[in-house]
Amino acid sequence: MTEFNRFFEPASVAFLGASSDARKWGFRILFNIITGGFAGKLYPVNPRGGRINDLDVYRNVAEIPEVPDMAVIVVPPGGILQAVRECGQKGIRAVVVITAGFAEASGEGAALQKELVELAHSFGMRLIGPNCFGLMSTPVKLYAQMPTAFPPPGPIAVVSQSGNIGFTIAQNAMNMDFGCSRVISTGNEADLHAEDFIEYLAGDDQTRVIMSYVEGFKDGRRFFEIASQVSLQKPIVMIKVGETEAGASAARSHTASLSGMDAVFDGVSRQAGIIRVYNLQQLMNVGYGFLCHPLPRGNKVGIVTLGGGWGVLAADACAKLGLDVVRLPDEMIKEMDSFLPGWWSRNNPVDLVAGAPPGSFERVIEILAKYDRIDAVIALGLPGPDSIWEAAYSTGENREEKLKTAIVDITDAFRKAKENAEKYGKPVIFSAGFPSPGGDTSFEHRARRALSRQNMVCYSLPDETALVLSSMVRYSRYLQSRSQR
Amino acid sequence: MTEFNRFFEPASVAFLGASSDARKWGFRILFNIITGGFAGKLYPVNPRGGRINDLDVYRNVAEIPEVPDMAVIVVPPGGILQAVRECGQKGIRAVVVITAGFAEASGEGAALQKELVELAHSFGMRLIGPNCFGLMSTPVKLYAQMPTAFPPPGPIAVVSQSGNIGFTIAQNAMNMDFGCSRVISTGNEADLHAEDFIEYLAGDDQTRVIMSYVEGFKDGRRFFEIASQVSLQKPIVMIKVGETEAGASAARSHTASLSGMDAVFDGVSRQAGIIRVYNLQQLMNVGYGFLCHPLPRGNKVGIVTLGGGWGVLAADACAKLGLDVVRLPDEMIKEMDSFLPGWWSRNNPVDLVAGAPPGSFERVIEILAKYDRIDAVIALGLPGPDSIWEAAYSTGENREEKLKTAIVDITDAFRKAKENAEKYGKPVIFSAGFPSPGGDTSFEHRARRALSRQNMVCYSLPDETALVLSSMVRYSRYLQSRSQR
């Protein structure tokens, strides 16, 4: 069993610091492991013994009737060395230390952290943490974590130096009905670093995209060597903070991270194929983009819009991000002339003015995708029949039925449009608003989830589509350049 | 009665192009006016006469038994001159032309538009449009518009050269329970321009903030002269597209707008005190910020966070936007030492690590706000008791009761924190995630609406708070510089 399998596919877990007090992390994390439905054996440990939630509590690790594959430790800092020693003596080789109060807190904390790592290594043991939120591994239903959130299995892996942010990413993925494979809060990285997990995830067949939040590097050279290998296999989308002195100073207080010079990171990460983003929304958007679309071959984009203003916003955003909003070739214009009303824009974006016949949206997308001149399509607005809006605004007893029909109509229209582009191997990135009668966003929420269940995503804003597409173009070109070496 | 009162406070409206066919705008817009509950008299006009929705349809404008204050016209382009002539002969002096197919479509359309304006002016008539979505004026419950959305009265006015985007702004404001005063889709601006409405809104006591989407200027000099007067009275938050050649080209097709050089706009708009933003989310965020907070005197910010990573993101974002994440003075650190656990960060952001006593969040905000060294506070994370999370994740029959209590707890905690800052005349800008068990965002949605009903806003991302605060600082400094002239 490799060291990472012990963390991510354990058959048994010891939990040191188990508590029956609902205000304590020793209860809450244990509760999350139980509630999450962990597939293996769970051994709570507390010197006081007794029972918690129908589980026997062991007075010490030695008493556990087997050698657990992994241990989770939440005892206070003063008890940490004793806890790790017990685990080591038992033969446990993988330990997650949730406890805070180490290098991030004080000089004594830093000394204790050093001692902790030396002790662990003396047993051949690997450590996650300390000062972390724990980890999630959905294939074995392991939710050994502080937050109470249970995303289903899915293609998104998260490696985060902030537990709070890491699990917020997971929660966002869950809300959109994209699931997670593994989520790791790396904390102070006293032993295992972010790059170790990124390396593991490259070979993890449950993971298709790696989302990461990074404050700094314990071993920058190794980080980038690994990243440049991994990015050949799957996209790594990353928030790297500490861009400014204020941010770097905050990072030092948070996880004792040294951010290093931001300009250096920017250059090196580009060479390593890392897709850098700047906030959580961008991270989610770009990650979903990689999950839902084929990679574009180049940067030439065709835009179709159901509202003129949206097209202008998208064209601006595309051009700012280095995408080429190409002039439409005459033959393409001619083809669209055959069914669009006489006064259509004859321009890119293709503005589907009032009077365009039903189905024009899907048809224009296919025409745009068919031509060599265009590498990707951006499609703005909600396609489909007016019944969508009527359903959303309907009241009365058969509203639910109408809503269901409308959601099917929406997903059908999007899928048709997507297929029309993908049969030419090209991505079509959607953005649309949804009806929210009286401020009720439940229809929108349901429709978006229905889309993601069919591996589709529709962004809220046209400039989001431009960012997603430009990130995919950048990654595609990176892969092309690496394959030519 | 001034020309703008005719549009925004009409006692009677003629509707030319009334239809009983639900697929036509002649029905839908009429339906919106009726459904919206227009307080005045409504006169549908169609040569065929008859009745629509319990209203008598007049065969022509001359038959209407009074002179309506305003007319809305949706007849096809070929009938537009005749319709305007009828209105003019009747004595109507304010007309909204919804119909498209003018300067934005073709050379002939441009010629027709010119004729339309000349005809209107020959009667002393003012025009909104053509090629627009109509207008909304909530104080008289007038929803003379294409989209079916009925925001309640409120402090947000919208002036948009894209009808689609203008009404999306209104819908977003409605979803967040901030209402709208007036919404104007200016279309091709053949007669009245965006700046005319901005000038009107300056004196409109229903309006506290003006949100605007602009593609280009018919009369740039006048626009900026008016804006620089209006911005002394209320903030104007604006998306100006056509930043790039691709965007400018799209704008020409959309509303025949000439965007002009973007760098010129950027400089001139700064001199006029316009707060420029770059997408719809920023527009809403910054607008809400002005509604909910006092203006900061300067750019010095104190940050308090319930999660380390959020603090780092916010510090980075603040520094990038020119905010000063100040070093905390020793006396402030001492004051916080008196109740925060020994290992707290002693840094800005103040990271409220595990172990901070209840109430620390509100208390730290007050301490930050109290000192001259700090002009504004950014507060990250959801304050309040754990009951919030327990309620969100509870199931069973008293869940609804628990949720209600939790929402009251949240709004109380935020209000307390806000009062703690505002008693020193300083803004505190919030950002937090909300629990969304199993992907159900209804709790979040209800909590956010409960906040806005108390004139509070909590943003989703920490970098959003930085953008809002930096916009407020910029506006505050603009007002200071103008008052010193």
B297 pLDDT higher than 70: yes
Query: What pLDDT does B1 receive?
Result: 65
Query: What pLDDT does B387 receive?
Result: 67
Q: Is A316 on the interface with B (CB under 8 A)?
A: yes
Which are the contacts of A95, defined by CB distance < 8 A and separation ≥ 6? Answer: A70, A71, A72, A73, A84, A87, A120, A125, A126, A127, A128
Give Dmax (Cα) for chain B: 83
Q: Is A310 on the interface with B (CB under 8 A)?
A: yes
pLDDT, tens digit, for every residue of B359-399? 899 999 999 999 999 999 999 998 866 667 677 667 777 88
- Residue B15 lies in domain: 1-133
Q: Token pair for residue B183?
A: 């919404």
Query: What pLDDT does B343 receive?
Result: 78
Q: Are A230 and A199 in contact (CB under 8 A)?
A: yes
Which are the contacts of B46, defined by CB distance < 8 A and separation ≥ 6? Answer: B16, B17, B18, B19, B26, B57, B58, B59
Lowest mean pLDDT among A189-198, A327-336, B108-117, B438-447: B438-447
Query: What pLDDT does B255 receive?
Result: 67
Nearest residue of B to residue A242 by CA position? Answer: B316
Query: What pLDDT does B275 receive?
Result: 97
Are the beta carbons of A393 and B279 separated by less than 8 Å? Answer: no
**Residue (of A87, A114, A293) closest to A190 by Cα position:** A114
Distance to chain A for B12, nearest Cα, Å? 27
Are the beta carbons of B100 and A354 separated by less than 8 Å? Answer: yes
Query: What pLDDT does A104 receive?
Result: 83
Provide the sign of the torsion angle of the four alpha carbons B314, B316, B321, B323, taken in this order. Answer: positive
Q: Is A395 on the interface with B (CB under 8 A)?
A: no
* In a shared domain, residues A205 and A280: yes
B128 pLDDT higher than 90: yes
Among B253, B351, B460, beta carbon nearest to A347 = B253
* In a shared domain, residues B268 and B305: no
Distance to chain A for B165, nearest Cα, Å? 6
User: Taking residues B236-262, what's their average pLDDT?
Assistant: 79
Q: What is the mean pLDDT of chain B?
A: 92
Residue A137 lies in a domain: no
Are the beta carbons of B308 and A164 separated by less than 8 Å? Answer: yes
Distance to chain A for B85, nearest Cα, Å? 25
DSSP conformational letter for A461 = S
Residue B304 lies in a domain: yes
Percent of chain B with pLDDT over 90: 74
Mutation target to probe the B interface, by most B beta carbons within 10 A, among A316, A443, A461 is A316
* In a shared domain, residues B268 and B312: no
Q: B245 falls in which pLDDT band (50, 70, 90)?
A: confident
* In a shared domain, residues A232 and A285: yes
- Pairing mode of beta strands B51-52, A126-128: unpaired
What count of CB pairs under 8 Å joins A to B? 215
Enumerate residues 457 to 476 of chain A having a beta carbon within 8 A of any beta carbon in chain B.
460-461, 463
* In a shared domain, residues B311 and B428: yes
CA A128 to chain centre: 20
Kindly list the residues from chain A whose CB atom is less than 8 angstroms away from the CB atom of residue B389: 148
User: By three-state DSSP, how is residue A106 classified?
Assistant: coil
Distance to chain A for B479, nearest Cα, Å? 28
Query: What pLDDT does B290 receive?
Result: 98
Are the beta carbons of A165 and B310 separated by less than 8 Å? Answer: yes
Query: What pLDDT does B344 receive?
Result: 84
**Residue (of B378, B361, B374, B380) closest to B468 by Cα position:** B378
The amino acid at B91 = G
Residue A145 lies in a domain: no
Q: Is A81 on the interface with B (CB under 8 A)?
A: no
* In a shared domain, residues B316 and B455: yes
CA dihedral B136, B141, B147, B151 (to 10 degrees): 90
Residue A10 lies in a domain: yes
* In a shared domain, residues A266 and A384: no
Count of structural domains within chain B: 3
Among A308, A318, A345, beta carbon nearest to B162 = A308
Provide the sign of the torsion angle of the four alpha carbons B252, B122, B226, B275, taken in this order. Answer: negative
Nearest residue of A to residue B185 by CA position? Answer: A309
Are the beta carbons of A309 and B109 separated by less than 8 Å? Answer: no
Query: What pLDDT does B3 receive?
Result: 82
Enumerate residues 169 to 188 of chain A having a beta carbon within 8 A of any beta carbon in chain B.
171, 174-177
* In a shared domain, residues B173 and B249: yes
Each residue's pLDDT, cut to its tens digit, for chain A (485 residues) gives 678 999 999 999 999 999 998 888 999 999 999 999 999 999 999 999 999 988 999 999 999 999 999 999 999 999 999 999 999 999 999 999 999 989 888 889 999 999 999 999 999 999 999 999 999 999 999 999 998 889 999 999 999 999 999 999 999 999 888 999 999 999 999 999 999 999 999 999 999 999 999 998 889 899 999 999 999 999 999 999 887 888 888 887 776 665 567 778 888 899 999 999 999 999 999 999 999 999 999 999 999 999 889 999 999 999 999 999 999 999 999 999 999 988 788 899 999 876 788 889 999 999 999 999 999 999 999 886 666 767 766 777 788 888 888 889 899 999 999 999 999 999 999 999 887 766 677 788 888 889 999 999 999 999 999 999 999 999 999 999 998 76
Q: Token pair for residue B245?
A: 């050649």
Give the Cα separation of A190 and A110 in Å (integer): 10
Residue A136 lies in a domain: no
Residue A139 lies in a domain: no
Among B253, B325, B439, beta carbon nearest to A175 = B439
Give the Cα separation of B146 and B99 in Å (integer): 11
* In a shared domain, residues A7 and A99: yes
Query: Could you tell me the CATH number of the domain that includes residue A118?
Result: 3.40.50.720
Mutation target to probe the A interface, by most A beta carbons within 10 A, among B316, B350, B393 is B316
| Interior angle at CA B309, CA B459 and CA A148, nearest 5 | 80
Mutation target to probe the A interface, by most A beta carbons within 10 A, among B313, B324, B347, B468 is B313
Q: B115 falls in which pLDDT band (50, 70, 90)?
A: very high
Kindly list the residues from chain A whose CB atom is less than 8 angstroms away from the CB atom of residue B161: 309
* In a shared domain, residues B224 and B324: no
Q: Is B27 on the interface with A (CB under 8 A)?
A: no
pTM here? 0.91
Residue B349 lies in a domain: yes
Query: Could you tell me the CATH number of the domain that includes residue B455?
Result: 3.40.50.261
Residue B235 lies in a domain: yes
Give the Cα separation of B199 and B219 in Å (integer): 14
* In a shared domain, residues A120 and A21: yes
Query: What pLDDT does B388 receive?
Result: 72
* In a shared domain, residues B285 and B298: no
Q: Is B345 on the interface with A (CB under 8 A)?
A: yes
pLDDT, tens digit, for every residue of B226-238? 999 999 999 999 9
